[in-house]
C-alpha cells in the first residue's frame, strides 16, 4: 500500500467504535419517491427506531445541499453510521461514499436503501403499502449498518504494462495511447498483419478519405514506439492472474509460447461483416448481387465515365439496408449461434448513403434506388448525407420492418419487389442492374477469450460493458477493458474514441504503484474453519480460494485462504460453509439475519 493512501486512511476518524449513532435520510427524488411514498412518515417512523439519532427527508439527497446534510451531521452531530433511502445504489452509492469520506468517516459505514425501484416505482397504485415497505426496508438498512465494520479497499501491486488483444484500428489506437502514456504495450493479433477490417473498406465517411489510410497511419506511429511489441499470427491459450498482474500465454507464429505479463488488458477483437445465407436477397445467385464492402471496392476501382461489372455497363444500382441486422425471429434464418441478429448495425445507413452519393457523383447517369427500413444516419452532420442523396436523385423506398423484399434474378437485370410505406404501402417493383446488400456488423468469434477472461457478453454476442454511461469500456472484471466494435457496431470515430477511453482508463488504473479494489470479498474466520474444502469446490474464480496449512492459535491447521485480488465476492462459498466460517465483508450472515429479523418483525 502506498504511503499516501495509508495516511489518508489513518485520518479517518474512529467514531464508529463509540456507541452507534445512525442518521437516516429519506430522499424524495423530486417526486419519484415522494409522489407515492409518504416520506415524512418514513422519516418519523425511523426517528423512533433504536440507535437512530437523526432522521430527515429531503427533495434531492444527491444534490450538494443533500450531501452537505450528511457531512454536517457527521462532523457536528456525532453521527457514525449513515443510511440513505433513495434510488438504486447503482446510481449514487459512490456519491454518498464520497460524502462520508469528506466528512472523515469510513465510507463503508454507509448503507444505501433502494426505495425507488424497489418500492415507489413498482407500487404506484398502493401508496400505503409502498410506504410500509419503505419503512421495513429502511429499518433493515439500519440493522445492517449497525453490524457493519469499517472496511478498507484492497490494494494490489500494478505492473506498468498493457496487453492489447487485436490490431485493428481500436487495438492500434489503444496501444498507441497507452504507449504515449509511458506504459509498455504488447499487441497480440490473430491474423498475419495489422490494420484490421479497415484495410479493405473503400472510402469512408465522414471525412471521405481512403479507409486504409487510417490503419496505415496508426500502424506507422505504433511501429515507431519503442515500448510497443507486436505479435502477429499469435493466439492466446490461457490467461491467469488478476488486475495489475495478468499473465497471458501466447502461442506465437513460430509455434513457441511466450508469457506476456500485463497490469491491464484491452480487448479490441473487432467485427466481421455479416455474410448472407445463400439465396438471401439473391446472394450467390448472381454476380450482380454484391455486399457493400464489395461494391465499395468496385466503386473505388472504377474510373472513366462508366461503371462496369464483367464488361456490362451498370445503369442502375439498388441498395438494400438491414441485411443481417434488425432480423426477426421466425422471419429470418438464424446464424450459426442459432440466433438472429436483432440489433441495428448502426453504421450501414450512413455507409450506404455515402456510397450512393459517391456513385452518383462519380457516375451521374446511374439510377440509384435505396430500400431502407428506418433511416438512421445518426451522428454529427450525417443527416446531410441523407439530404444530399435526395438531391442526387436517389429514390428511396421504405419497407415495413417485418417485410422482406423479394429478389428475382433475371437474365438481364434484377427485380426487387417490396412493399413501400412511402407509396401508401403499395407493392413496388424495382428493376436494377446491381443489387448491393448493406450487410451488418457481427462480432468476431472469440469464445476462447471470453472463457479465459470471463468476459460478459450480451445476447447478441457482443462484449458488454458494465454500464454504457456510468462505466463505459469497463467490464466487471477489474483491469480488463473492451474497445471498439467488439462492444457493438461503431463507426471509425466511435471506435477510436472507445479505444482512447480504454487506454486512458488503463493508464489511470496503472498510474499509482498499487490499485484499490472493492473490499467486498470473502473473509475466513480461521477459528471456525474446519478445512473441509467444500467452499473450494464452489468457487468459480480460479485462484481466489486455496486451502493452506496454517498456524491458528498455536495449532497447525488446514484452512481456506482468500486471494482478495481474485475474489469477486459472489458468496457461493458462504452458502456451503456449515460452520459459518466464511463471510463476504460488508454482507455478513449476521447482517442478513438482522435484516430479515427487522423486516419479519412487522
Partner 1 sequence: MKVNTKFIKEVKKYGAFDISACFNCGNCTAVCPLSAEDVSFPRKMIRYAQVGAEKEIEASLEPWMCYYCGECSDTCPRQAYPGEFMMSLRRYLISKYDVTGISAFFYKFPWVQNLLTIAIFAVSLIFFLSYTGDFQELAEKIEMAFPAYVTLAIIAYVFMFYKKTIMDKAGKMLISFDFKNIWETLIHGLTQKNFSSCSDTDWTRWIAHLLVMSGYTLTLIISNLHLLEPLRIHYGLFDISTLLVFYATFAILAGGFVMMFRRVVKQVQSSSFSHSTDWLFVVMLFLIGLSTFATHTANMALGPDSDTVSILYKFNIAVEMAWIVIVVPFTKWIHIFFRPMAIYLRNLKKEKQLV
Question: Which residues share a beta bridge with 59?
Answer: none
453 in Cβ contact with 486 (< 8 Å): no
Pick from 17, 226, 336, 391: which binds partner 1 (CB under 8 A)? 391
By CB under 8 A, tell whether 423 contacts partner 1.
yes
Mention every residue, 6+ apart, whose C-beta is less than 8 A from residue 87: 27, 29, 32, 62, 114, 116, 117
- Tell me the chain's radius of gyration from C-alpha atoms: 30
By CB under 8 A, tell whether 369 contacts partner 1.
yes
For residue 31, count CB atoms less than 10 angstroms from its CB and return exposed for 0-12, middle for 13-18, buried for 19 or more.
Answer: exposed
Length of the chain equals: 602
Smallest distance, partner 1 to C-beta of residue 374, A: 12
Query: What 8-state DSSP symbol labels residue 277?
Result: P
Nearer to partner 1, 257 or 378 (CB): 378
Nearer to partner 1, 144 or 398 (CB): 398
Nearer to partner 1, 108 or 396 (CB): 396
Question: DSSP assignment of 476-498, as one string?
Answer: SSTTEEE-GGGSS---HHHHHHH
By CB under 8 A, tell whether 469 contacts partner 1.
no
For residue 364, count CB atoms less than 10 angstroms from its CB and return exposed for 0-12, middle for 13-18, buried for 19 or more.
Answer: exposed
Q: Which stretch binds partner 1 (CB under 8 A): 34-42, 138-146, 343-351, 393-401?
A: 393-401
Measured distance CA(411)–CA(421) in Å, rounded: 29
Nearer to partner 1, 358 or 568 (CB): 358
Nearer to partner 1, 427 or 448 (CB): 427
By CB under 8 A, tell whether 225 contacts partner 1.
no
User: Is the sign of the CA dihedral 45, 50, 56, 61 positive or negative?
Assistant: negative
For residue 587, count CB atoms less than 10 angstroms from its CB and return exposed for 0-12, middle for 13-18, buried for 19 or more.
Answer: middle
H or E, element range at 509:
helix 492-509
Q: Which stretch binds partner 1 (CB under 8 A): 47-55, 89-97, 415-423, 560-568?
A: 415-423
By CB under 8 A, tell whether 395 contacts partner 1.
yes
Measured distance CA(592)–CA(543) in Å, rounded: 27
156 in Cβ contact with 244 (< 8 Å): yes
Q: Which stretch binds partner 1 (CB under 8 A): 130-138, 184-192, 252-260, 420-428?
A: 420-428
Tell me the number of residues near partner 1 by CB under 8 A: 23
Chain-centre distance of CA 136, in angstroms? 34
By CB under 8 A, tell whether 429 contacts partner 1.
yes
What is the grid cell recorded at 502?
480504454
By CB under 8 A, tell whether 427 contacts partner 1.
yes
Pick from 431, 460, 514, 525: which binds partner 1 (CB under 8 A)? 431
By CB under 8 A, tell whether 426 contacts partner 1.
yes
Nearer to partner 1, 339 or 384 (CB): 384
By CB under 8 A, tell whether 393 contacts partner 1.
yes
By CB under 8 A, tell whether 342 contacts partner 1.
no
Q: Which stretch binds partner 1 (CB under 8 A): 281-289, 428-436, 535-543, 592-600?
A: 428-436
By CB under 8 A, tell whether 363 contacts partner 1.
no
Nearer to partner 1, 92 or 360 (CB): 360
Residue 152 — left, alpha, or beta (φ > 0 → left; ψ -120 to 50 → alpha)?
A: beta
Q: Which stretch binds partner 1 (CB under 8 A): 56-64, 70-78, 423-431, 486-494?
A: 423-431
For residue 86, count CB atoms less than 10 angstroms from its CB and return exposed for 0-12, middle for 13-18, buried for 19 or more.
Answer: buried
Nearer to partner 1, 313 or 333 (CB): 313
Nearer to partner 1, 314 or 565 (CB): 314
CA-closest candidate to residue 310, choices 342, 288, 332: 288
Nearer to partner 1, 375 or 570 (CB): 375
Nearer to partner 1, 17 or 391 (CB): 391
Smallest distance, partner 1 to C-beta of residue 426, A: 5
By CB under 8 A, tell whether 316 contacts partner 1.
yes
Measured distance CA(199)–CA(214) in Å, rounded: 8
By CB under 8 A, tell whether 424 contacts partner 1.
yes
SS3 category, 108: coil
Q: Which stretch binds partner 1 (CB under 8 A): 33-41, 349-357, 416-424, 525-533?
A: 416-424
481 in Cβ contact with 502 (< 8 Å): yes
By CB under 8 A, tell whether 425 contacts partner 1.
no
Pick from 25, 108, 274, 386: which binds partner 1 (CB under 8 A)? 386
CA-closest candidate to residue 273, choices 193, 369, 202: 202
Query: What is the binding site for partner 1 (CB under 8 A)?
Result: 316, 367, 369, 375, 386-387, 390-393, 395-396, 398, 420, 422-424, 426-431
Amino acid at each position: 500500500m502506498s504511503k499516501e493512501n495509508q495516511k489518508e486512511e489513518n485520518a479517518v476518524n474512529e467514531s464508529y467504535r463509540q456507541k452507534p449513532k445512525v442518521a437516516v435520510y429519506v430522499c424524495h427524488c423530486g417526486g419519484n419517491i415522494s409522489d407515492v411514498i409518504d416520506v415524512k412518515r418514513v422519516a418519523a417512523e425511523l426517528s423512533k427506531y433504536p440507535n437512530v439519532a437523526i432522521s430527515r427527508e429531503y427533495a434531492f439527497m444527491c444534490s450538494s445541499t443533500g450531501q452537505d446534510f450528511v457531512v454536517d451531521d457527521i462532523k457536528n452531530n456525532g453521527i457514525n453510521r449513515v443510511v440513505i433511502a433513495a434510488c438504486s445504489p447503482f446510481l449514487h452509492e459512490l456519491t454518498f461514499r464520497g460524502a462520508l469520506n469528506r466528512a472523515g468517516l469510513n465510507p463503508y459505514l454507509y448503507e444505501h436503501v433502494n426505495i425507488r425501484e424497489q418500492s415507489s416505482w413498482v407500487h404506484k397504485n398502493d401508496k400505503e403499502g409502498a410506504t410500509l415497505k419503505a419503512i421495513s426496508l429502511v429499518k433493515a438498512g439500519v440493522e445492517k449498518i449497525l453490524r457493519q465494520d469499517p472496511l478498507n479497499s484492497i490494494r494490489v501491486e500494478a505492473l506498468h504494462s498493457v496487453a492489447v488483444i487485436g490490431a485493428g484500428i481500436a487495438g492500434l489506437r489503444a496501444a498507441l495511447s497507452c504507449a504515449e502514456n509511458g506504459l509498455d504495450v504488447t499487441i497480440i493479433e490473430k491474423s498475419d498483419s495489422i490494420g484490421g477490417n479497415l484495410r479493405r473498406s473503400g472510402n469512408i465517411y465522414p471525412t471521405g478519405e481512403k479507409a486504409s489510410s487510417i490503419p496505415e497511419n496508426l500502424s506507422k506511429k505504433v511501429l515507431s514506439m519503442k515500448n510497443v511489441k507486436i505479435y502477429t499470427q499469435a493466439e492466446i491459450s490461457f490467461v491467469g492472474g488478476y488486475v495489475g498482474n495478468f499473465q497471458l500465454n501466447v502461442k506465437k507464429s513460430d509455434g513457441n509460447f511466450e508469457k506476456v505479463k500485463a497490469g491491464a488488458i484491452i480487448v479490441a477483437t473487432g467485427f466481421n461483416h455479416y455474410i448472407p445465407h445463400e439465396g438471401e436477397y439473391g446472394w450467390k445467385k448472381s454476380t450482380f448481387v454484391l455486399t457493400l464492402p464489395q461494391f465499395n471496392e468496385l466503386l473505388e476501382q472504377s474510373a472513366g465515365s462508366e461503371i462496369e461489372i464483367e464488361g456490362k455497363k451498370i445503369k442502375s444500382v439498388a441498395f438494400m439496408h438491414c441485411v443481417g441486422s434488425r432480423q426477426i425471429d421466425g422471419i429470418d434464418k438464424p446464424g450459426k449461434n442459432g440466433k438472429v441478429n436483432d440489433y441495428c448495425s448502426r453504421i450501414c445507413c450512413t455507409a450506404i448513403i455515402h456510397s450512393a452519393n459517391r456513385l452518383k457523383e462519380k457516375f451521374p447517369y446511374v439510377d440509384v434506388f435505396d430500400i431502407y427500413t428506418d433511416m438512421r444516419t445518426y451522428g454529427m452532420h450525417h443527416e446531410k448525407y441523407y439530404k444530399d442523396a435526395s438531391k442526387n436523385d436517389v429514390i428511396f423506398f421504405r419497407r415495413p420492418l417485418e417485410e422482406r423484399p423479394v429478389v428475382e434474378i433475371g437474365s438481364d437485370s434484377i427485380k426487387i419487389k417490396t412493399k413501400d410505406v412511402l407509396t401508401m404501402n403499395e407493392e413496388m417493383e424495382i428493376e436494377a442492374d446491381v443489387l448491393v446488400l448493406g450487410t451488418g456488423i457481427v462480432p468476431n468469434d472469440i469464445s476462447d477469450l471470453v472463457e479465459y477472461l470471463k468476459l460478459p457478453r450480451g445476447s447478441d454476442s457482443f462484449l458488454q460493458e458494465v454500464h454504457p454511461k456510468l462505466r463505459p469500456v469497463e467490464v466487471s472484471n477489474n483491469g480488463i477493458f473492451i474497445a471498439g466494435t467488439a462492444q457493438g457496431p461503431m463507426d471509425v470515430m466511435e471506435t477510436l474514441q472507445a479505444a482512447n477511453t480504454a487506454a486512458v482508463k488503463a493508464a489511470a488504473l496503472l498510474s499509482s504503484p498499487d490499485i484499490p479494489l472493492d473490499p467486498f470479498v470473502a473473509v475466513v474466520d480461521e477459528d471456525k474453519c474446519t478445512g473441509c474444502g467444500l467452499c473450494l469446490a464452489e468457487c468459480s474464480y480460479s485462484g481466489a480460494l486455496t486451502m493452506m496449512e496454517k498456524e491458528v492459535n498455536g495449532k497447525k491447521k488446514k484452512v481456506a485462504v482468500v486471494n482478495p485480488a481474485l475474489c469477486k465476492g459472489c458468496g457461493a462459498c458462504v452458502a456451503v460453509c456449515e460452520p459459518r466460517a466464511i463471510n463476504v465483508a460488508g454482507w455478513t450472515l449476521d447482517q442478513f439475519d438482522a435484516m430479515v429479523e427487522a423486516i419479519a418483525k412487522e
